[in-house]
Structure 1
Amino acid sequence: MAGAFGFKGSCQKIRGPEIRNLLEAKEFFLFDCDGVIWHGENAITGAPKVVNSLIRHGKNVFFVTNNCTRPRENYVSKFYRLGFTDVMQEQIFSSSYCSALYLRDVAKVQGKVFVIGCEGVRKELREAGVPFLEEDDPPDATIYNCALSPDVKAVLVGHDDKLTFLKLAKASCYLRDPECLFLATDNDPWHPLRDGRILPGSGCLTAALEVASGRKATVIGKPSRFMFECISSQFRGVDPAQCLMVGDRLETDVLFGSNCGLDTMLTLTGVSQIEEAEEYRDSEHSPNQSLVPDYVVDTIADFLPAFEDQD
C-alpha cells in the first residue's frame, strides 16, 4: 500500500481526512522517540494520547530509537512516567538492544566484546548473554602498559559520556585483527540540547575509530535495515506495505523507512524541517530521493482529530 494516496516521495503536508485515511490504511506504526514523542523528560503535547489510542484501536506500534544510553526496561519506566501507559517492553527496539541481538544471533560472536558505550549497552549485552570485557585498568594506565585481552572478538561503539583516549587506543589495537568484528550502535552525528547546544553522537566516536583502524563499522541502528528485521523476526505478519515510519530526522528516520520499503512521515517537532526535505525532493541527485518523506505533519498531535472521528 506504499504511496496509496499518491504522495510517495512528495513531501506532502497532510491533515484532517488525509490523516484519518492513512491511519485506517496502515496496521504497523514505527515511531522514533526523541523529537517525535518526547523532548528529554517532557512528552510532546498530545503524543501520549496518540500512542495509547493507536494501541487501543488495535494497531501495532513499535519504537525504533538510536539512543543506546538506557536499557529497554528503563524505557518502559520513562514511557509510563510520561503518560504512555499502554507501551510494553517488547514494543521497544533500541540500537543497544538490536546490537546485542546482532552479536548473539547473526554474528554469533565467539569471544568477548570490547565496548565503548554507556551502561545501557552493557545491560542489553548481559540480558542477551553476550560476554563483554569488563574495564579494570588502573587510573595511571596508558596504551603502553595496559593489558589487552586475547579473547576480544568484536568492538562495539555507542554513545559514551565517559570516553577516554585509552578506550579509543585499545579499540584501535583490537581492530588491527581483521577477524575482530567492528560494530556501531548507530551513526548519529549529534543530538540537540537546550539553548542551541549540541551533544556529539555515537557517529563521532565511530568515525575516530574508522580513521584509526582503516576499517568501516557495521551500523546496527537507523538507517540500517537491521532494526526492522528484528521487528519482523519477533512479530508475525509485519508487511512493509502496511507500515508507516514516523520520525524527525531525514538522514536517519526517513532514510531508514526508505531502506525498508516503508511509507515515511516527517514530524516537525525535532531536528529536520520541511525546507530541508523540499531541497532533497527538488535535487537532481537521485540518492537524495531516499531522504524525502511521503508525508509531513507539524506534530503527531495532528493525529488526534482522526481518533475523535472514530470514537
Structure 2
Amino acid sequence: MAGAAGRGGCHTIRGAQIKELLQSKRNVLFDCDGVIWNGETAVTGAPEVVRLLKQQGKRVFFVTNNCTRPRENYVQKFSRLGFTDVAEEDIFSSAYCSAAYLRDVARVQGKVFVIGCYGVQKELLNAGVTMVEEDDDGPDVSIYDCPLDPDVKAVLVGYDEKFNFLKLAKACCYLRNSECLFLATDPDPWHPLRGGRVTPGSGSLTAALETASNRKATVIGKPGRFMFECIAGQFNLDPEQSLMVGDRLETDVLFGTNCGLSTMLTLTGVSTLKEAEEYKGSDSPEKKDSVPDYVVESITDFLEALEE
C-alpha cells in the first residue's frame, strides 16, 4: 500500500496502513488551513500528531499558500493553538517563497510593485527586497495623474483586502514593460470563511491583472514546484521519501504529484472524497494528477498509527 501501487489510487487508509506509509517516509509536508487548523481552532489531535512525528525522527514541514502573515506570526499561531515544537524554519508560505524567488532566483535589481497584504510585505522586507512605497492615494487620484516609479522591475500579486482599481491600473502600466517580471504568490481562487461565506483569493486578483495586461503570471505557490525546491534546497529532501498532506485537490495534491511526492487528502477542509473520485475518472490530465494516493478523514487518524 505504501509503495508505487498507491499512486493516484485514492485509497482510504487507517491504522496499520497509515503506520506502514509513515514508516516508508522520512519527511511529512502539511498544508495548514483545513488540515492543521480551521481558523483559530486546531484540528483535533493535530498538535499531538506533529509532536509524535518529530519524536519518531520525521522531518515535518508546513507548506501553505496563505500569504497573509509572515513566518514569525505563523510560529505565534502554532504556539497559540497548542503546537509546542514548530520552528520558523519549518514553515514555507507562498509569501516567504515569493521573497526567496525574487532575491535568489530572479535577483531583481530594482523595486517590486506589490499587490498584497502585510504578510507579503514583511517577507519581502525580511529578504531585503525593495518595494515601491505605498502612496496615500486620495479619492481624487486616478491612473491619469498618479506617480509611477521608473525603477519597478517586478509586479507581485498576493491576497489583498485593499485591492482596488488604481492598484490594478498601476500594475498594468508597469507590466507594459516586457522586461518587468509578473509573479503571483499562489493561484487560490477563494478561501472559506466562517458562516458559509468566502473571500476571493490571490488567484482571483491575479486573473484580473492577467486579463488586463494580456500576460501570464509566474505562480510561486502550490501547485508549482518552487515551494518544494525551496525546502529541498535547504534540507536536502528526497521526493520519494516525502508525503504531502493537504485538503485541496487542485493545489495540495497536484503540488505533491508535480514534485514526485506521495499525496494524501484529508477531509477536514475544502475538497471532498466525491470530488477526488470524480477526478479519478476524468479525461483531464490535470484532474488525474490531482487525485490523491491516499485519503484520511482527518490527520487525527495518524494517532492510532503513531501511538502503537
TM-score of the aligned structures, taking structure 2 as reference length: 0.98
Q: Which moved more, 1:132-141 or 1:158-167?
A: 132-141
Tell me which residue corresponds to 1:103.
102
Distance (Å, rounded) in 2 between the aligned partners of 1:283 and 1:146: 49
Alignment check: 8 A CA contact 2:250 2:287 kept:
no
CA distance in 2: counterparts of 1:113 and 1:5, whole angstroms = 43
CA distance in 2: counterparts of 1:45 and 1:220, whole angstroms: 30
How far, CA to CA, are the matches of 1:22 and 1:92 in structure 2?
Answer: 23
Determine the C-alpha separation between the residues in 1 that align with 2:280 and 2:90.
32
% identical aligned pairs: 70
Conserved in 2, the CA contact under 8 Å of 1:142 and 1:166? yes
CA drift of 1:5 comes to 6.2
Rounded to whole Å, the distance in 2 between the matches of 1:284 and 1:136 is 48
Structure 1 residues 152 and 5: alpha-carbon distance in aligned structure 2, compared to 1, 3 A threshold: closer
Equivalent residue number for residue 178 of structure 2 = 178
Mark the CA change 1:9 to 1:195 in structure 2 (over 3 Å): closer, same or farther: same
Deviation at residue 138 of structure 1 after TM alignment: 3.4
Shift in alpha-carbon separation, 1:261–1:226, aligned structure 2, 3 A: same
Q: How far 1:196 sits from its partner (Å)? A: 1.7
Distance, in Å, in 2 between the alignment partners of 1:168 and 1:70 is: 22
Matches within 5 A, 1:172-211: 172-211=172-211
Report Cα offsets for 1:263-291 as digits up to 9, x if no partner.
00000000000000001112233332101
Distance 1:175 1:87 in 2: 39
Which letter maps to 1:185?
A: T
| Alpha-carbon distance between aligned partners in 2 of 1:3 and 1:157, rounded to the nearest angstrom | 38
Cα deviation, 1:69-117, whole Å, max 9, x if unaligned, reads 1000000000011011110000100000000000000000010000000
Question: Per-residue displacement from partner, 1:119-165 (whole Å, max 9, x unpaired)?
Answer: 11110001000000011243132111100010000000000011121
* Structure 1: gaps of 5 or more residues: none
C-alpha distance in structure 1 between counterparts of 2:119 and 2:4, whole Å: 40
Query: Secondary structure of the residue that 1:21 maps to in structure 2?
Result: helix
- Which structure 1 residue ranges, 4+ long, deviate > 6 Å from structure 2? none
Is 2:34 the counterpart of 1:45?
A: no
Structure 2 counterpart of 1:32: 31
Give the alignment of 1:5-154 within 5 angstroms: 6-139=5-138, 140-154=140-154
Give the letter for the 2:13 counterpart. Answer: I
On the 8 A contact 1:137/1:146 being kept in 2, the answer is: no
In the TM superposition, residue 7 of structure 1 has moved relative to its aligned partner by 1.5
Q: Structure 1 residue 3: deviation in Å?
A: 5.5
SS in structure 2 opposite 1:6?
A: helix
**Are the equivalent residues in 2 in contact too, given 1:3–1:294 (CA < 8 A)?**
no
Q: Is the 8 A contact 2:65 2:221 kept in 1?
A: yes
- The reply on whether 1:256 has 2:255 as its aligned counterpart is yes
Other structure's SS at 1:269 match: coil
Alignment partners' CA distance in 1, 2:82 and 2:303 = 16
CA distance in 1, matches of 2:77, 2:196: 25
1:278 aligns with 2:292: no
**What is the alpha-carbon distance in structure 1 between the residues aligned to residue 112 and residue 196 of structure 2?**
36
CA contact (8 A) 1:248 1:269 kept: yes
Structural mapping, 1:224-235, within 5 Å? 224-235=224-235
* Residue of structure 1 in register with 2:307 after alignment: 308
Note closer, same or farther for the CA distance 1:3–1:289 as it changes in structure 2 (3 Å cut).
farther
Specify the alignment match of 1:214 in structure 2. 214
* Structure 2 residue identity aligned to 1:148: L
- Aligned counterparts of 1:100 and 1:251: Cα–Cα separation in 2: 23
Q: What's the Cα RMSD here? A: 1.1
Q: Distance in 1 between matches of 2:6 and 2:186?
A: 29
Letter in 1 for 2:216: K
Instruction: Give the aligned partner of residue 245 of structure 1.
Output: 244
Q: Secondary structure at the match of 2:182?
A: strand
Gaps of 5+ in 2: none
The AA in structure 1 aligned to 2:218 is T
- Name the TM-score, length of structure 1 as normaliser: 0.97
How many residues were matched structurally?
Answer: 307
Say if 2:266 and 2:296, in contact at 8 Å, map to a contact too.
yes
